[in-house]
Structure 1
Amino acid sequence: MGVSAAMIIRDSERSIERCLNSIIAAVDEIVIVDTGSTDRTIEIVSSYCEAHEQVKLYHFEWINDFSAARNFSLSKVSHDWVFVVDSDDYLPADDRGKIKSYTSQMDQEGRKCVFDIVYDNSVDGKIVESIAYGYVRLFPSSLRYEDMIHEQIVYAPLERIRSDIHLEHDGYDMNQVDIKAKKKRNIELLILNLQQDQNNARLWMHLGREMSGLDNEKALRYLNLAESKTTNAELLGWIEMSKQDLIER
C-alpha cells in the first residue's frame, strides 16, 4: 500500500523546488523522470535525492511522446497508488493530507478507483481558473497512459470519483512561460499523433484549442471535426465550451 508521486520534467529549475517541497510530506515516494534537462534541474533534484531517500531520479530519452515518458515513470513507482504531478504544479498545504487519507480509505474498503483533482490555473500568483473535472491525477499505479500529447490515463472499468484535492498550476502564465513555444510544440505533436489516429476526437479538440488565438478559423474547423467524431457527453461538453471560448475572443 502507500502512494508514490510520479513526475516527468525537463528544464524545470524555475519551479521544481516549489513542487517538491509541496508534495514531499504528502506521499511515500517521489519518482522523477528527467527527459533531457540542460539547466540546473538535475543539480536541484540530485540534492533532494541526497537529503531524502524517498526521492528517486531516473532518465528517459525524449521521443516526442508524453505517454511513453509518463508510463516509464509509472513503471518505476513502488506503491499501489500514484499521484501524478508536473514540475509547475503546487499542492496547497490544506490538501496535503488528503491524498493518503483517500487512498487509505479505498484500501480499507478493498476498492480501486481513479480520482479527479481540482486544477487551479494561476497568473501572477492569483488563481484565474478552476477546473473541477477532467484531470485524473490519483489512481492505481498499474494503469497506463495513451496518446503522445495531452495524454490521458486508461481507467475503464474503474469508478471515477471527483475529489476536492487542489493542484495549483502556473504553466500557462505568460510571465513565466513561453506560451507560443509551448503551443508550437503541442500542435506539432498533435498533428503527428493524428496522422496515426485520425478518428481521435479528443485530439482534434485539443488541436482546435491549441489553434485558438493563432488561427481561429482553423480552430473552429478542428472543433467541429472533433464534435463529428464522438458521442461522449463529457467530451462534447468540453468541445462546446471550447467553441464558446473561441466566439468570445
Structure 2
Amino acid sequence: MKELLLQDVNYPIEIEKIVSQNIIDNNDMVKITAAIICKDEEKTIERCIKSIENKVDEIVIIDTGSIDSTIDVVNNMKIDKVKIYQISWNNSFASARNYALDKVTYKWVFFIDADEYLIDEQLDLHRILKLLDEYKSVNKTVFSPKIIDANGHCSIGVGRIFKKNSHLIYYGDVHEEVRIKKQDGYDIPENISLNITLMHDGYTDEIMSKKDKTNRNMNLIKKMLVKEHDNLRWIFFYLRDGENILDLNEIQRITEKSILIYPPKGFSKSNIVDNQYTYPILSIYISKMICSETDTKKIYSLIDILESINKENNDAIFYRTILKINEIRREEKQLLIKLIGYRKDNIKPQYGAMHSEGKNIDLLMGYFLFRLGYIEVAKKYFDYVNDFGDNNIFIMEYKNIVKSILSLYC
C-alpha cells in the first residue's frame, strides 16, 4: 500500500506507519459515498459515474438546473446506488456541496466533479479509506487526489475525500475549500495528498468559453473578496482567473497591496508576506509584466524573489528564458530593419558579391520575417530565393533550416 503515497511529499509519521503496516479488519470495512455536483454535463456525466460505480457504495448527484439531457443520461444508466437531487443554482458551489453532504448516507465522502473521472480500475478505495480511518486526526483531515488537467498539469492539494462530521463543511462560492467550522469562525483542516488519480477536462479553452466560466468565476470571487478581503486565497484566484482580462496596472496594485509587508518599501525578499499564495500571486504578476514587455530590470529582480520563495520550482528559469527570447527577438527585429533599409538603398546589381542581385540579403530578410511571425511574407521571400545558393555552404545551411521550418508549418 506504499504506492498510495506520492514521492517527494512530506507526510505525517503516523500516516507513513499506517500505510506501511497495511493492517485492516476485512470484516469491518468502511462504506463510501461519491458526491457529484453537476449542471449541463450530458457529455461527461456517464464517464464520471462509470469510473466510480464499482468503487463506492452510494452515488449522490446534485443537479443544479440542467437544461440538457444530463438527468436522462443518468436515469438511463439504471444504477441502483445512484440518487439524484435537483436544486436551484444559488451562485455558490459550497452551498451545493454542503447540500450533498446532508444527503449522503455513509461516513466517508468522495467528491468528484462531473467533468472528472477515476482512471485506476484496480484501486481498492474501501481498503484505502479503512486504513486512513485509523489516523488519529482523521476527523480534522481532508485527503486530496491527484487531479490531472487536459494539458497535463497536476494538482495535489484539492481536498475531496474526508470523513463526514458536523464540523467539516465547504466554504466559498467558487474555488471552494473544506474548512473546520467553529463558534468563532473557521480553521483549515490538515490536507494530505494521495496517489489517487482523477482526470479533468473541464477547463479547456473551448469549455471555458462555451460555459462562460471566466465571467462566472470572477463574479463569484468578487463576492468572496467582500467576505474575506484579506484572504490571499481569493486574491490569488481573482488574479489567476482574471489574468487575461485585468490590465497590468490592476494586477500590480493588487499584488503590491496583498503580498508586500510594507508596500511603500517595494519588492524585496525581506518585504514579502509568508503565505502559500504569495508565490503564485507573484508569478502571475511577473507573467503579466513579461507579456506587457515592460521594465525588464524589475522583472529580473522579481524573478530572483520568486526563486528565493521556492528554489525547486522551474518557473524562474522559464521566465528568465522568456525574457532572453524577447531580447533576442528585439535584436532580430533591429537586424531586419537594418536589412530592409540596406536593401532599399542597394537595388542595383553588385557584381562579384555572393549574389549580384542581392538574393543573399533577401534570404536573410525572409529568415527574420519568419522568426518574427510574418509567415506569409517570409514564404514569398523564400520562394523568390529558392534557386539560389546551392553551392554555398553558408546559404545551403540557411535554406535547409528554412525548408525544415516550412515543412512543419506550411
Q: State the TM bucket, normalised to the shorter chain.
A: 0.7 to 0.9
Change in Cα spacing, 1:120 to 1:225, as seen in structure 2 (3 Å) is: farther
Structure 1 unmatched runs, 5+:
none
> How far is 1:99 from its partner?
2.9
- Residues 55 and 145 of structure 1: is their aligned pair in 2 closer, same or farther, counting only changes over 3 Å? same
Taking the TM superposition and a 5 Å limit, the aligned residue runs for 1:135-154 are 135-142=158-165, 143-154=168-179
Match of 2:89, SS state, is: coil
User: How much does 1:200 deviate?
Assistant: 2.4
Change in Cα spacing, 1:198 to 1:103, as seen in structure 2 (3 Å) is same
The residue type paired with residue 234 of structure 1 is Q
Deviations 1:121-165 (CA, angstroms, capped at 9, x unpaired): 10xxxx421123x21111112221111111110145754212111
Cα root mean square deviation, aligned: 2.4
Secondary structure of 1:233's partner?
Answer: coil
> Tell me, what secondary structure is at the counterpart of 1:234?
coil
| Higher mean displacement: 166-175 or 189-198 | 189-198
Within 5 Å, give how 1:62-77 maps onto structure 2: 62-77=89-104
Mapped pair 1:18 → 2:60: no
For the pair 1:33 / 2:62, whether they are aligned, the reply is: yes
Give the 5 Å matches for 1:64-143: 64-94=91-121, 97-108=123-134, 112=138, 113-122=141-150, 127-132=151-156, 134-142=157-165, 143=168
TM-aligned CA deviation for residue 28 of structure 1: 1.4
Residue 233 of structure 1 and its aligned partner are, at CA, apart by 3.2
Aligned partners of 2:247, 2:210: CA distance in 1, in Å? 17
Q: Match for 1:237: what amino acid?
A: Y
In structure 2, how many angstroms separate the alpha carbons of the residues matched to 1:247 and 1:98? Answer: 47
Q: Distance in 2 between matches of 1:224 and 1:32?
A: 42
Amino acid at match of 1:227: I
Provide runs of 4+ in structure 1 moved above 4 Å. 108-111, 155-158, 228-232
Structure 1 match to 2:391: none
Aligned-residue offset at 1:93: 2.5
SS at match of 2:100: helix
85-94 or 171-180: which moved more? 171-180
SS at match of 2:55: coil
Residue by residue, what CA displacement relative to the aligned partner does 1:72-98 show, whole Å, maximum 9, x if unpaired? 01111111111111111111125x625
CA drift at 1:30: 0.8
Question: In structure 2, what is the Cα distance between the partners aligned to 1:170 and 1:248?
Answer: 28
Which of 232-241 and 70-79 deviates more?
232-241
Change (3 A) 1:25 1:219: farther
User: What's the % identity of the aligned pairs?
Assistant: 30
CA pair 245-85 structure 1, distance change in 2 beyond 3 A: farther
Name the counterpart of 2:276: 234
Q: 1:219 to 1:140 in 2, by over 3 A?
A: farther
Count of aligned pairs:
241
- Are 2:179 and 2:188, in contact at CA under 8 Å, matched by a contact in 1? no
Bigger Cα displacement from structure 2, 192-201 vs 5-14: 192-201
Task: Determine helix, strand or coil for the equivalent of 1:39.
Answer: coil
Q: Are the counterparts in 2 of residues 205 and 226 from structure 1 also a CA contact under 8 Å? A: no
1:5 aligns with 2:34: yes
Residue 54 in 1 paired to residue 96 in 2?
Answer: no
Question: Residue by residue, what CA displacement relative to the aligned partner does 1:19-78 show, whole Å, maximum 9, x if unpaired?
Answer: 111111121111100000000011112223xx2221110012111111111100111111
Partners of 1:2 and 1:111 lie apart in 2 by: 19
Higher relative contact order by CA 8 Å / sep ≥ 6: 1 or 2? 1
Output the CA distance in 2 between the equivalents of 1:38 and 1:198: 35
Partners of 2:148 and 2:199 within 8 A in 1: yes
What amino acid sits opposite 2:175 in the alignment? H
Shift of 1:223: 3.8
Q: 1:225 to 1:58 in 2, by over 3 A?
A: farther
Structure 2 stretches lacking a partner, 5+ long: 1-29, 181-186, 262-271, 292-410
Asked whether 1:181 is paired with 2:222, we answer no
The CA deviation at 1:232 is 5.7
Whole-Å separation in 2 of the counterparts to 1:166 and 1:241:
26
d(CA) in 1 for partners of 2:223, 2:189? 30
| Residues 24, 198 of structure 1: alpha-carbon distance in 2 compared, 3 angstrom cutoff | same
Taking the aligned partners of 1:46 and 1:193, their CA distance within structure 2 comes to 35
Partner Cα distance (1:202, 1:195) in 2: 13
Counting strand residues as a fraction of each chain, which structure ranks higher?
A: 1
TM-superposed deviation, 1:227? 2.5
Query: Which of structures 1 and 2 has the bigger CA Rg?
Result: 2
Shift of 1:172: 1.3
Distance 1:22 1:211 in 2: 33
Q: 1:179 to 1:245 in 2, by over 3 A?
A: farther
